[in-house]
Amino acid sequence: SFPPDRPEYFPSAMSQTEKRGARPSSSPQSTKRAKMTTDIDMTNANGAQAVNGVHIDEDLHSRQLAVYGKESMRRMASSDVLIIGLGGLGVEVAKNVILAGLKSVTLHDATPVEIRHLGSQFYLSEGDVGKPRAEACRDSLQELNAAVSVSHSSEELSEAFLGRFDVVVATQMSLTEAVRIDDICRNHGKAFIKADIRGVFASVFCDFGDEFEVTDVDGEQPHSGIVAGITPGTTTLITSVEDDRLEFESGDMVIFSEVDGMSEMNTIGPVKVLSAKPHSLEIEVDSTGFGAYVKGGIVTQVKQPKTLRFKSLSESMDSPGEFLMSDFSKFDRPPVLHVGFRAVDEFVASQGRAPRPGDAADASAVIEIANKMIKSTEGVKLDEKVLGHLASTWCAELNPMAAAFGGVVGQEVVKSASGKFHPIFQWFYFDSIESLPEEPLGAEELAPEGSRYDDQIAVFGRTMQRKLESSNVFLVGAGALGCEFLKNMALMGVSCGASGRVTVTDDDTIEKSNLSRQFLFRDWDIGNAKSSVAGAAAKKINPGLNLEALQNRVSPDTEEVFNGEFWASKDLIVNALDNVNARLYVDSRCVYFGKPLLESGTLGTKCNTQNIIPGLTENYGATRDPPEKSAPMCTLHSFPHNIQHCLTFARSEFEGLLEKTPADANAYLENPEKFVHDVTHSSDAAAKENLKGVFDALITDRCSTFDECIRWARLKFQSQFHDRIRQLTYTFPEDAKTSTGALFWSAPKRFPTALDFDVADGSHASFVQAAAILKAQVHGIDVPSWAGDAQAMVEKAAAVEIGAFVPSDNVKIETDPKKTAAVAADEDASGLDAMVTELEAVVKTLPQGYRLNPIVFEKDDDTNFHMQFIAGFANMRARNYAISEVDKLQAKLIAGRIIPAIATTTALATGLVCLEMYKVFNNAPLEKYRDSFANLALPLFAMAEPKPPVTVQFKDLKWSLWDRWVLEGDLTVQQVLDWFKERGMDAYSISCGSSLLYNSLFPRHKERLSQSMLEVAKTVAKLDISDWQNSFDVVVAVEDENEEDVDVPLVTIAFR
C-alpha cells in the first residue's frame, strides 16, 4: 500500500484496501436476541463498553474506534467544546465534532439568519430567517448524537465563560477579538482554533498551548517483524525472515520479545534503530556480553510521544514559522495569503464592511494595505492578482469550502481533545483559484438575487448558477460519501432548476454503524433504503432539489436500467462507492459514453480525489494496484504466527460450518441426484469435501435438541484446539528438522501447545456458548432462556464424554506455502458410495420440507453471537500458538474487514470534489484541475494536476481511450473492412465478446463478408439484442502498411 507521507507516490490511486472500503452487508437485520454476557465480555446490551467510566457504543462507533482507539475516544468523551460562529464552516465543524462523540458542544452565534446563509448552512431554513443562527440550528445538531450535549449560548465571551471549555473554535471573527480570546485560552490551558473560509480561500490557525503532548503522531499501527538472526557487537545487527519485509525507519525505537538464547534482548529497550533495511536493522545496543542467540524473536516499534510548543496568535502573526502546504506548485502562496488575510481584516476594521464582490477599488485598497505590511516582512513578494481574488470573494461562504474545512478543523478539535495525531503547527492556508472563472465577471453577473445562492453568485456569477441548477447528475452511492455529496449539491443548487435532476442509487439499507458518519440518517431510519432516506433529507435542506432515488446496484446486471439513453442524459457522474470493482465498472461506463466522473475514497484519516474528464485525463482504471498479499493456506491452517492469521481462519471456519455447509446440505435436499452427480463427476477434491460436509451436517453433526448442540460445541473445541494440535506436534515434533537439516519449527513458525477444556476459563465458556447457540439456529432448535448463563452452559459442556485422542501416522499436513488449498481427505469411490447410500436412507426419515438455516456472517450485531464465536475461536487458536489475544472489538475490525472511517475525512473529500465540480461545468482546461491526497493525521495535503490520457497517432488520426468509433447503419462485414481500408488500415480480425466474427486467415469466413454485422453477431456470438439496444460493440484488429499492429478504439455498430 502506498505510504501516506510520501508525496512522490501522489496522485496514483490508493492501495486496493484504501480504494475499496468495506461494503456493509445488505442482508436484513438479524433478529435481536437477549445479550449473553460472560466474564470476558464487558459490552452491555446496547453495544456500549465502559472505558474508565465513559461508555462507548461500539455498535455505533466501530469504524471510528478503528481510527482512534478506545483511550482516545474516552478522552474525547470528556471534552467540552465551544464553537463561535455558526455559518457554513461553523456548522460543519459542529456536525463533525458531534458525530465524533465529544462530551458537549456549545454553539455561540447571535447573528440573525439571512436568506444567503442557506447556501452553506444546512440546518437553516427559510422559516429561520431573522432568528439567531446558533439557536436556529441547535435542535438539528442535537439529533446527530444523543450522547453529546448540544446547547446554544448568547453569554458574553468573557474569561469566566471561555474557561469552561477545553477547546474553543472561532470562525468569522476579527483578528483583534481572536487575539483576545486566544490569550484567555492560553492562560487557562485551553486549546484555541481560528478558522475562516473566504470565497475560495481558507485559513486555519491552531494554538494548543506551551506544552502539548501528541501521544501518536500518525495513527499507524506499530511496525513489527520476526527475528531470524542476531549478530552481536558494539552495535547489534538484527535480520528478519526472508519473506518478512521490515517497515522500520532510522530513528525508530524498538523492543524485543520471545528471543530464545540471547534473553537479554527481551529486557532491554526501547532501543534506537541506527539504520534500517528491508530485511535487517542495526540497533544501538552493545550485545558483546550477551548470551548466544538460538532462535526466534519479535521486534516491535514503540511509538514515542511528541511535545509541541505553540506560539500565541499575537506572536505568530509576525513570526508564523513554517506553513503547512497543500499544493507545491504554489510554494510561495502561503506567505502571500498570510499577509492578505491580515490586510482584509484591517480593511474591514477601518471601513466597517467587507470588500464588495468584483469591486476593483476595494481590491486595490486591500492590496495597498498589504504592501504597507510587507515592508516589515522580509522575503514576501506579493501576488496582487491573488490578493485581488481574495478581496473580491471575501464576503462569500461557499459550501464546498465549508465542507472541506469543516473536516480539517473538526479533526483539529479531535486532536486537541484526544492527543491523537499531529496538529496543524500552526498555520494552514489554502486556495482554489483554479475554480474561479477565467475572466473577471461584471457587476451585473455578480449582483445578488435575494436568494440562498447569493454567496455563490458573488464568486461564480449567475451564469454558473444557472448551469448548476439545470445540470443532470448521477450520484452512485448514498453512504457516507453519498450523504455529504447530496448535502453539498442541495446547498450549491445543483439540479435545483426546472430541467435539472440528481439521480442517486444505492442498493443498501441503513444500519446502526452508519449513524456515526452518514449524517443524513437517524436511528429511526435503520432498515430503510439509504438512497430514499438520504434523498428525502437532502430535499429538506433545499426543497428545490429535483431528485430521483433508486435502489439498483450499478453493474452489468442492471444495464437495462442504466442503458445508453440513461448515460447520455447525464452531464456529470459522481462516485460515492466503497469498493474497487464497482468503481472500475462506473469508470468503464463513463469512458464508453464520454462522461466526466468525479471520484473519491477514504480510509480512516486518509482520502483521495480524482478527476476523470473526457479527452483530458486518464481514467480511474488506468492505474492498478498489485494484488494484495495474503497468507499461504498452510500458514492459516497449521502455522499461524499473528492474530490476523487466527482471525482469518476463525472466520473461514464460521462460514464453512454455519453458512456454506448448511447451504450445501439444502442444495442436496433440494435435488439429491444433481448434487451427487456434480460431486462424483468433478475432478476437484473440494467437491468431494462438500459431500462430506453434507454428510456431517445431516448425519454426524445433526442436532435435534439444545443439549446436542452443546455437545457439538464441546466436541468442536476438542477437535480444533486439542486434537488438531496434538496431531500437528506428533507429525512434526519440536525437534523435527527439514530435509536440509534446519529446525522445522524455525521462525516464523511457532510451536503450538494443545488446550485442555477448563470449566473455570471464561473464554472457553464464551466459545461454547456462542457455538452451541449458533448450531441451534442452523437446525431450527429453540434456545432455552438458561443459555444466557455461560456458567450453566460450560458445566453442561464439561459433562460431555470425550474419548482419548490417538495421533495417526497417516495424516498429511500441508507445508508448501505455494499451495492455495488445504489438503482434502482422499475418498475412494466406495467411500463416496457408502456416504451417498447412508444419506439417501437418512433423508427418507426427515420431515417433509426439512431444511437447515445457513447463517450469513453479520459483524455489526453484537446480540447475534457471530463475533463472540469468531473472537473466541481466534483467541483459543492464539493460545495454542502463544500469540497475543484480542478483545471482541479488535476481532470485529480484523475478521469483519472493517474499513476505518470518520466523518471529518469524508467531509474533506467531498468538499474537494465539489470544488472540482465548478471546473467541470466551466469546461476548465487540464491545468486547472487538481487531484488530491490528504492524511488528516499527519497532517499532509498533496494536490497535483491530473495525468493526461495516453494518445495514439496514426497518419492524420489521433485517439485515446476516450475515443470510440461509431459506424452508423446495418453494415456488412465487408463494409466495416472497407471503412478501415479508407483510412489506411488493414482490418484482419473482428471479434464480439469472446467470439471471433471474422478473421482473414480462415477461408470459411469469406462467406461472412456479405452478411450484416448484426446477423453474424447473432449467429456466431449468440448476441442477444434487447428492444432497448440499438448498437453493439466489436473489437477490430488492424495492421498498417508495414504489417505492424495498430491499437484502435472500440468500434460500435449502430445498426438502428
Query: Would you call 819 helix, strand, or coil by DSSP?
Result: coil
Q: Which DSSP category does 438 fall into?
A: S
DSSP 784: P
CA distance 517 to 520: 9
Concatenate the DSSP letters of all residues of 323-373 into one string. PBPS-GGGTTHHHHHHHHHHHHHHHHHHHSSPPPTT-HHHHHHHHHHHHHH
CA dist 121 and 58 (Å) reads 30
1010 close to 1017: Cβ distance less than 8 angstroms: no
For 457-491, give the DSSP string.
HHHHHHHHHHHHHT-EEEEE--SHHHHHHHHHHHH
How buried is residue 313: exposed, middle or buried, by Cβ count under 10 Å (0-12/13-18/19+)? buried
Per annotation, catalytic residue among 185, 206, 496, 634: 634
Which of 23, 163, 172 has its CA nearest to residue 86? Answer: 172
Cβ of 845: how many Cβ atoms within 10 Å? Answer: 7
Kindly state the cell numbers that stand for 750: 511457532
In degrees to the nearest 10, what's the CA dihedral of 229, 232, 233, 236? 40
Query: Quick check: helix, strand or coil at residue 263?
Result: helix
Give the count of beta carbons closer than 10 Å to the beta carbon of residue 211.
Answer: 10
Are the beta carbons of 541 and 566 closer than 8 angstroms? no
Q: Are strands 271-277 and 472-476 parallel, antiparallel or unpaired?
A: unpaired
Q: What SS3 class is residue 1036?
A: strand
What phi and psi values does residue 827 have, to the nearest 5 degrees?
-125, 115
Candidates 244, 20, 198; CA nearest to 749 is: 244
DSSP H or E stretch at residue 271: strand 271-277
- Residue 556, amino acid: P
Q: What grid cell was written down for 67?
A: 481510527
Q: What angle do CA 166, 170, 173 make, to 5 degrees?
A: 150
Q: Cα 853 to chain center, whole Å?
A: 32
Short-list 345, 339, 367, 412, CA closest to 179: 345
Sequence letter at residue 11 = P
185 in active site:
no
Closest CA to 955 of 975, 987, 990, 985: 985
The full DSSP string for 608-635 is EEEEE-TTTS--GGGS-PPPPP---HHH
Name the DSSP letter for residue 604: B
Residue 349 grid coordinates: 476594521
Cα–Cα distance for residue pair 25/42, rounded to 1 Å: 25
Q: What is the largest CA-CA distance in the chain?
A: 98
> Which triple of cell numbers denotes residue 821?
488449498
Nearest to 263 by CA among 299, 225, 298, 292: 292
Phi-psi region of 719 (alpha: psi -120 to 50; beta: other; left: phi over 0): alpha
Omega of the bond leading into 640 within 30 degrees of 0 (cis): no
Cα–Cα distance for residue pair 933/610, rounded to 1 Å? 9
CA 515, 519, 523, 524 torsion-angle sign: negative
Cis peptide before 939 (omega within 30 of 0): yes
DSSP state of 180: H
Q: Kindly list the catalytic residues.
A: 634
